[in-house]
Amino acid sequence: MLPIDAAAHSSRWRRRHPVDKAVLGLGLTLLAISLPPWPGAALVLLSALVVLLGPAGVPGRRLWRAYRVPLGFCVTGALTLLVQVGGPGGFVSLAADGPVRAGELLLRTSAASLGVLLFAFTTPMSDLLPRLVRAGIPAPVVDVALVTYRMSFLLLDSVRRIREAQAARLGHTGRAAEWRSLAGLGATAFVRAFDRATRLQAGLAGRGYDGTLRVLVPEARVSVRFTAASCALLAMLAALTFVLERPLT
């Protein structure tokens, strides 16, 4: 199980309905994309951090480990706006408005990433996917997503075991050994994944699979109070952005 999935299963909001958390987390993401980056995205980023570290109870170190990956993509994308190709300045030169555009893009994307992480850190996929059928998603599509979700953990566990076995046999002592181990890892992981998929298909057929996977879903109700508080927070952030936009700009 990935750390973010383990955190979602032990979250304080684990028993809340996914709709409650979707309104808050995805609402913050939508605000980060649609509001002016300054001060809108900055306010969304700060609010998401407060909610994640406060009411949601996500440990700061675990949040940073998950956040640094999308943040790296955000920084990489923003850096490309600092330069321009062609023009009077030469083949490659600094863009005139590059720092402003890079800062705006970094604010938007980093704030939107925190909104998505808020939903991911509080909602296990095992609670979300079965409920998608009630939202109108075709059952076969949800079944494929459920099986893929489960198979991904089995495949990651197999890769970890193979790498440990290769390390125990001095398979990472040199560049040539690294390449041989990498090739062996890819081949073995493919064979094991194919074998597990075949066994999974045989198991489902043996249990009378009729096109629908039936799983137990924890009972939860949409909290009107929580959803109303989330909408109030989102509305306050939008109003505060438009009030502060002119003075701060």
Bridge partners of residue 94, in order along the sequence: 83
Every domain of the chain and the residues it spans: 3-123+221-246, 130-206
Lowest mean pLDDT among 23-27, 114-118, 181-185, 219-223: 219-223
- 73 pLDDT more than 90: yes
Lowest mean pLDDT among 91-95, 100-104, 118-122: 91-95
Q: Which residue type is seen at 162?
A: I
- 32 pLDDT more than 90: yes
Q: Cα–chain-centroid distance for residue 108?
A: 16
Per-residue confidence (pLDDT) for residue 239, from 0 to 100: 94
Q: Is the pTM of this model over 0.75?
A: yes
- Residue reference for tokens 């938007």: 108
Per-residue confidence (pLDDT) for residue 220, from 0 to 100: 80
Lowest mean pLDDT among 2-11, 124-133, 181-190, 205-214: 205-214
- Which residues touch 41 (CB under 8 Å, ≥6 apart)? 32, 35, 104, 107, 108, 110, 111, 112
